[in-house]
Amino acid sequence: MEQNSGEKLPRETEMIREAKQRLRREVKILRNALPASYLQAAGDIIQIRVLDSEAYQKARTVFLYVGMPGEPPTDRILRDALDRGKRVHVPLCERQTGIMHAVRIQCLSELRPGLMGIPEPARGGETAEAEDLDLIVVPCVAASRDGGRLGHGAGYYDRFLQTFHPGTLCLCFEKLLLPEIPMTEWDIPMARVLTEAEFEMGVAKAGFYLVK
């Protein structure tokens, strides 16, 4: 998890943080140049792959982000999970504390525009800790095949997870999949990364990259 911005970081960690900031700017330029037709088609395939995955099929309690522009959407997954009677949790972020809560919802109409305009649940709802969740679907700016994840820099997911969780699934457009993501000791690796592309790499298939 990321330290408070006011705390002095070791020079090596500070250099990694600066590298990540540069990488975010570069990836956002690349993402903004991607055709809308590609983002829509790839997003549809990614959602289908999640729905077809064993991890999703077996999960009883799921945590799903609500996508913002430029991220793989999750609307179809959210509707399916609710229809199947899974226990569905979505993020509620507190800007002042940097804490993210996993709040249970029972219908999409409970969501209202929150931080950065992203739909969020109301405060005071039933919450779950990371260890209570079977599947945690995570967004990214970019990701790498070994489970590295580049987030937006606020550290919400790293603080929420605190340690590696075997149920994490990061959704990433294939064109934003990078060879490597610089990671500090506070960055939590993903158990799986899923894209719209198919791969035949050892046990990795259908866009999944398993961290050994």
Cα 81 to Cα 55: distance, rounded to the nearest angstrom? 13
Task: Report CA torsion sign: 69, 24, 133, 159.
Answer: negative
For residue 183, the domain's CATH number is 3.40.50.10420
The mean pLDDT of 118-138, rounded to a whole number, is 94
16 lies in some domain: yes
Using DSSP, state whether 169 is helix, strand or coil.
strand
5 lies in some domain: no
Pairwise pLDDT comparison (47 vs 153), residue with the higher score = 47
pLDDT in tens, 139-172: 999 999 999 999 998 999 999 999 999 999 999 9
Domain count across the chain? 1
1 lies in some domain: no
Strands 135-138 and 168-171: parallel
Pairwise pLDDT comparison (172 vs 113), residue with the higher score = 172
198 lies in some domain: yes
Cα 211 to Cα 145: distance, rounded to the nearest angstrom? 9
Residue 114: which pLDDT band, with cuts at 50, 70 and 90?
confident
168 lies in some domain: yes
Tell me: pLDDT of 52 over 60.
yes
Residue 3: which pLDDT band, with cuts at 50, 70 and 90?
very low
Q: What is the structure's pLDDT at 124?
A: 87
63 lies in some domain: yes
Cα 191 to Cα 145: distance, rounded to the nearest angstrom? 10
109 lies in some domain: yes
Tell me: pLDDT of 211 over 50.
no
Which domain range does residue 80 map to? Answer: 11-205
* Predicted structure pTM score: 0.87
Cα 8 to Cα 61: distance, rounded to the nearest angstrom? 38
89 lies in some domain: yes
pLDDT in tens, 162-209: 999 999 999 999 999 999 999 988 899 999 999 999 643 333 344 444
The mean pLDDT of 49-56, rounded to a whole number, is 96
Could you count the other beta carbons within 10 Å of the beta carbon of residue 105? 23
Q: What is the structure's pLDDT at 187?
A: 92
Q: What is the structure's pLDDT at 12?
A: 66
Tell me: pLDDT of 37 over 80.
yes
